[in-house]
Structure 1
């Protein structure tokens, strides 16, 4: 009986050690193995053996991690204080570096993202923060990716979510936008007046070449006025040719009547 207990106890201990040594890593996990405190290898996924007491394992998740960067107070280059928050997407590409080179890669990446967000946005004006977000996102991503490369971290994307302004600045931006719209409206109106003037000049030149066209235009205007129910008066245009006839008759009258008023031959100089 004692001999049986002598064999059973070590067998149970051996089975317990084997069970404790068996580790199963998922497809997105890797195990960083240390042998007596020294880095040995990166294993996984699947079934691996880790000897208790001699080897230690640190599990690393290789999936993309979403990091919400807290709101940061940023003073822009034009001295405007804003609160900006962002979201950061990164993943581990080198499991060994993420364990050996940095104590906590998640906390380190979070702190680095906050400081980088403040420093990059502080170099730009408020208008650039609002209108050039894609460029700012790329700049922040490049800086973070270059600095976290030594930790085995790959920053895949950075997105600025909100740029919060105080009420006074919002009102100032609204006034600026209103003034900009008024300026555009005035420019468009002036361009319309210029085009209309050019068309009128072209029309006048054509009508000057054909006096009948001017008369037809008069008649068309009268027709438009007659169809308008609000018109109370109608003006009949006097043809320009008729005025020339009157001028020629007046010239003949002065020539035939020396004493007529306005005749150069009148000694009174046209005075009664």
Structure 2
């Protein structure tokens, strides 16, 4: 009886040792005598102890942080760039059997590709077209990792460090661009103002009533500025009237007095 109990315990222990549980994001690659037999999970399943072995993999989205690396752009500017790469395992059997360490392999290919892509672009493109560079890196790395059962979800450049001298040069260039824009706007405003003044002067010269209205407006503006200066506004035709008066006075000339004294007898 004791032998039966011991045998039952051994059998139960043998069976229990083959029970495996995988979470929803986990899978188990089952090897039988060194060969891949099947992919199991998630949930509860059983494998044959001692003959079959399980390698557990994680299917969740993973990240690879690329530390700041020095690289040279197409216009020979040395910069430091760091990035983050997101990837997911879609074929665990290929990922485990095609490459010794898929994590290190993804990191190295991402690092090399990032350097190569940046080296093909100018500094301005690296700073202004990050989305395009990220997409190019993602496509190139994904083509390499696809046979491994790895898909690249996204690549993001985080920081781009440029030399201090280049920062100063870029700041001066930006300041020059802003100054040029300000001068152009000022010149356009002055041109527009001069055109409007010319049109206004032409309109006023053609309409005496408008000229008088402008004079009254100026008088009102001077009065509202709390000025103690008294301004006498003369009519616009005052010079004409003055000229006419001068001409009239000139015509009323006094006859000359004779210097010859003739004795009257």
TM class, shorter-chain normalised?
0.7 to 0.9
TM-score (ref. length: structure 2): 0.84
TM-score (ref. length: structure 1): 0.82
**Partner of residue 103, structure 1:** 100
**What secondary structure is seen at the aligned counterpart in 2 of 1:163?**
strand
Bigger drift between 114-123 and 138-147 goes to: 138-147
Runs of 4+ in 1 over 6 A off after TM superposition: 248-257
**What secondary structure is seen at the aligned counterpart in 1 of 2:29?**
strand
Q: 1:120: how far off?
A: 0.9
Q: 1:87: how far off?
A: 0.9
**Partner of residue 264, structure 1:** none
Bigger drift between 41-50 and 10-19 goes to: 10-19
Matches within 5 A, 1:27-42: 27-42=24-39
**What secondary structure is seen at the aligned counterpart in 1 of 2:67?**
strand
**Partner of residue 50, structure 1:** 47
Structure-2 change in CA distance of 1:42 and 1:201 (3 Å): same
Q: Give CA deviations for 1:210-253 in whole Å, capped at 9, x if unaligned.
A: 122122212212322232246868575662x3434556677889
CA distance in 2 between partners of 1:197 and 1:235 (Å): 28
Bigger drift between 150-159 and 245-254 goes to: 245-254
**Partner of residue 227, structure 1:** 224
Q: Give CA deviations for 1:120-146 in whole Å, capped at 9, x if unaligned.
A: 111112122222222222221122222
Matches within 5 A, 1:164-243: 164-229=161-226, 234=231, 236=233, 239=236, 241-243=237-239
**Partner of residue 14, structure 1:** 11
**Partner of residue 261, structure 1:** none
Structure-2 change in CA distance of 1:136 and 1:235 (3 Å): farther
CA distance in 1 between partners of 2:78 and 2:243 (Å): 78
Bigger drift between 89-98 and 215-224 goes to: 215-224
**Partner of residue 112, structure 1:** 109
Q: Give CA deviations for 1:131-186 in whole Å, capped at 9, x if unaligned.
A: 22222222211222222111111111111110112221221121111111111111
Q: 1:83: how far off?
A: 0.4
Q: 1:198: how far off?
A: 2.3
Matches within 5 A, 1:115-134: 115-134=112-131
Q: Which runs of 5+ in 2 are unaligned?
A: 254-265
Q: 1:93: how far off?
A: 0.8
Pairs aligned (count): 253
Matched, 1:93 2:90: yes
Q: Which runs of 5+ in 1 are unaligned?
A: 258-272
CA distance in 2 between partners of 1:37 and 1:17 (Å): 20
Structure-2 change in CA distance of 1:124 and 1:226 (3 Å): same
